[in-house]
């Protein structure tokens, strides 16, 4: 269905994304059950089928062959409000060797693992299987596969194959730590360890774990990555995702150090997990996250839908200094033509932009402070300051339209730069979101609800010499999602 951002006079009343996944008329939160099979990426997600606020949670479903164009599919898993409960977050795996035994005629089972959250607020882990490549799922008749061990918060199971021992490992968050379980048939699980005490950020409950191995293409070293979303306690308030890099021996996860690292420093990248069974999965993982924050997710101004996903992203293990970090880049590239950029960049003149766009440029790493001010005719502006002197980026949405419910935030991200190397920036502006990627450094996602598109850009710098190179702007087409 073709969506437009309607405006009354020149004030917006709706903010439908043009190139980010969302579901019109519905509430959406975390991505769930991500797997790639038969040349298709499957995206399941927390869905309220009846409303645009959180509640009555089912698993919605969509598919894509390019991670850009998504086709909505029927609801995949239905809440059992009078039984084990609503269908909370979790993952999915492709069971190539039918370890689960669900296949009877040579099919390849897809196993979805998720939490059921009952009316009495008891959380247990359940599963469902698909024998038709993910088109439909059947609830396992002996659910739950993991009963509640007496914890209020016990959820979001994510399964990974541990090749060395030929077993499946399941990570489940429990309060502010993770419990690891092992299984050879995906049905019965034995707890082997816990991780979390004394490590990482603990400002809130741990949610949506993801554990996977990655081999660094440069050094050939394989390490394990553990993603943990946390709410509240993020670096800029509310929800955010931290990650650990370390060793996993089939039982215990041991991080290389005790530093807290954030996968995305912005206010609006949460509960992200990675796809199972993608090409090149040993060296890169494909990731997507919910583009919101529990601080205000239920109150964002467009009540005709709520909750979009970030751009799909590629995560790679990269060596940095003595250690390793996760490098994040967009997993999609939009085939659109270049927007004309006159030679005005370093003359402090405003540039007229399309409504939604991407922008790439390189900044000389010369200690300068550069501000990008994205504005509209209503005098709203979103200001991004790239401060190479104090080594940080500050994004200020306090004058960018919608301000209520704690939305007026100036958020920052530290920049750990390599001396002498230019700073490569890629940014993506959709109707109500901004995503920024600094190559080899980190990324930053922020929702914005301006009342008209931010289609003017002024660039200012305190540098005496020209310091922005190779500026490229592209208009992104409406993908009609």
Q: Which of residues 186-215 bind ligand FRU (CB under 6 A)?
A: 207-208
| Annotated catalytic residue 30 | yes
Q: Which residues pair with 320 in a beta bridge?
A: 323
Closer of 273 and 471 to ligand FRU (Cβ): 273
Q: Is residue 264 part of the contact set for ligand FRU (CB under 6 A)?
A: no
Interaction between residue 30 and ligand FRU (CB under 6 A): yes
Catalytic residue among 30, 156, 264, 302: 30
Query: Contact, 222 vs 205, CB < 8 A?
Result: no
Cβ proximity to ligand FRU: between 111 and 271 the closer is: 271
For 326, phi then psi, to 5°, come to -95, 130
Pick 294 or 361: Cβ nearer ligand FRU: 294
Q: Name the closest residue to ligand FRU (Cβ).
A: 88
Q: How far is the CB of 228 from ligand FRU (least distance, A)?
A: 11
Residue 433 and residue 448 in contact, taking contact as beta carbons nearer than 8 Å: yes
Q: Using the rule CB under 6 A, which residue among 14, 46, 431, 455 binds ligand FRU?
A: 46
Q: Minimum Å distance from CB 18 to ligand FRU?
A: 24
Q: Does 288 interact with ligand FRU (rule: CB under 6 A)?
A: no
Does position 268 bind ligand FRU by CB under 6 A?
no
Q: Verify binding: residue 300, ligand FRU, rule CB under 6 A.
A: no
The nearer residue to ligand FRU, 208 or 454, going by C-beta atoms, is 208
Q: Which is nearer to ligand FRU, 156 or 396 (CB)?
A: 156
Beta bridge partners of 35: 42, 276
Decide if residue 29 touches ligand FRU (CB under 6 A): yes
- Rounded CA-CA distance 474/481 in Å is 19
- Applying CB under 6 A, among 155, 170, 182, 306 the residue interacting with ligand FRU is 155
The torsion angles phi and psi of 167, rounded to 5 degrees, stand at -135, 165
Q: Are 159 and 89 in contact (CB under 8 A)?
A: no
Q: Does 278 bind ligand FRU (CB under 6 A)?
A: no
- CA distance linking residue 317 with residue 225, whole number of Å: 9
Q: Which is nearer to ligand FRU, 3 or 445 (CB)?
A: 445
CB of 179 to ligand FRU, least distance (A): 14
Q: In what order do the strands lie in the sheet with 285-290?
A: 270-274, 285-290, 313-320, 323-330
CB-wise, 57 or 99, nearer to ligand FRU?
Answer: 57
d(CA 201, CA 242) in angstroms, rounded, equals: 8
Establish if 88 lies at the interface with ligand FRU (CB under 6 A).
yes
Cβ-Cβ contacts under 8 Å for 280 (sequence gap 6 or more): none
Question: Shortest Cβ distance from residue 164 to ligand FRU (Å)?
Answer: 29
Got the DSSP string for 147-166? ---S-S-EEEEEEEEEGGGT
171 binds ligand FRU (CB under 6 A): no
Lay out the site mask for ligand FRU across 110-149 (x = CB under 6 A, - = otherwise).
Answer: -----x----------------------------------
Block residue for tokens 């002197």: 389
52 binds ligand FRU (CB under 6 A): no
Q: Is 48 in the site for ligand FRU (CB under 6 A)?
A: no
CB 458 within 8 A of CB 406: no
d(CA 314, CA 401): 31
- Can residue 296 be called a binding residue for ligand FRU (CB under 6 A)? no
Of residues 418-437, those binding ligand FRU (CB under 6 A): none
What sign does the dihedral 313-316-319-325 (CA atoms) show? positive
How would you label 141-152 residue by residue, b for 16+ Cβ within 10 Å and e otherwise? eebbbbebeeee
Count of C-beta atoms within a 10 Å radius of residue 254: 13
Sequence-ordered strand ranges (E) for 56-101: 58-64, 71-77, 86-94
Among 172, 271, 400, 447, binds ligand FRU (CB under 6 A): 271
Residue ranges in contact with ligand FRU by CB under 6 A: 29-30, 46, 57, 88-89, 115, 155-156, 207-208, 271
Cite the active site residues: 30
């Amino acid at each position: 269905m073709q969506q437009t951002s309607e405006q009354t006079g020149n004030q917006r009343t709706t903010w439908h994304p043009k190139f980010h996944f969302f579901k019109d008329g519905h509430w959406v939160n975390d991505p769930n059950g991500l797997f790639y099979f038969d040349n298709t990426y499957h995206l399941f997600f927390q869905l309220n089928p009846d409303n645009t606020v959180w509640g009555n949670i089912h698993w919605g479903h969509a598919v894509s062959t390019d991670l850009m164009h998504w086709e909505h599919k029927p609801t995949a898993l239905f809440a059992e409000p009078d039984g084990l409960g609503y269908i909370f977050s979790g993952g999915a795996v492709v069971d190539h060797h039918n370890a689960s035994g669900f296949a009877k005629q040579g099919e390849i089972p897809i196993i979805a693992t998720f939490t059921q959250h009952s009316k009495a607020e008891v959380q247990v882990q359940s599963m469902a299987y698909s024998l038709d490549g993910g088109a439909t799922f059947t609830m396992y008749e002996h659910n739950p596969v993991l009963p509640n061990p007496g914890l209020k918060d016990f959820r979001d199971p994510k399964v990974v194959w541990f090749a060395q021992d030929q077993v499946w490992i399941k990570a489940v968050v429990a309060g502010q730590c993770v419990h690891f379980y092992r299984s050879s048939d995906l049905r019965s699980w034995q707890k082997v360890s816990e991780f979390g005490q004394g490590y990482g950020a603990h400002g809130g409950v741990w949610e949506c774990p993801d554990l996977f191995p990655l081999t660094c293409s440069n050094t050939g070293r394989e390490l394990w990555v553990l993603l943990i979303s946390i709410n509240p306690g993020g670096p800029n308030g509310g929800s955010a995702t931290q990650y650990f890099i370390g060793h996993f021996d089939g039982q215990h996860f041991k991080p290389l150090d005790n530093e807290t690292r954030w996968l995305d420093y912005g206010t609006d990248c949460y509960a992200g997990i990675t796809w199972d069974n993608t090409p090149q999965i040993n060296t890169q993982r494909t990731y997507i996250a919910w583009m919101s924050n529990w601080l205000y997710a239920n109150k964002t101004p467009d009540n005709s839908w709520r909750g979009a996903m970030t751009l799909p992203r590629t995560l790679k293990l990269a060596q940095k200094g003595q250690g390793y970090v996760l490098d994040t880049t967009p997993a999609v590239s939009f085939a659109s033509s270049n927007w004309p950029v006159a030679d005005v960049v370093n003359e402090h003149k405003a540039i007229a932009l399309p409504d939604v766009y991407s922008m790439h440029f390189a900044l000389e790493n010369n200690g300068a402070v550069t501000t990008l001010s994205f504005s509209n005719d209503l005098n709203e502006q979103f200001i991004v300051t790239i401060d190479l002197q104090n080594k940080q980026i500050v994004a200020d949405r306090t004058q960018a339209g919608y301000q209520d419910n704690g939305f007026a935030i100036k958020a920052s991200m530290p920049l750990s730069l390599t001396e002498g190397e230019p700073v490569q920036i890629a940014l993506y502006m959709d109707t109500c979101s901004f995503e920024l990627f600094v190559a080899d450094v980190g990324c930053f996602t922020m929702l914005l609800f301006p009342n008209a598109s931010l289609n003017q850009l002024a660039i200012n710098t305190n540098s005496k010499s020209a310091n922005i190179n190779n500026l490229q702007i592209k208009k992104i087409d409406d993908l009609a999602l």
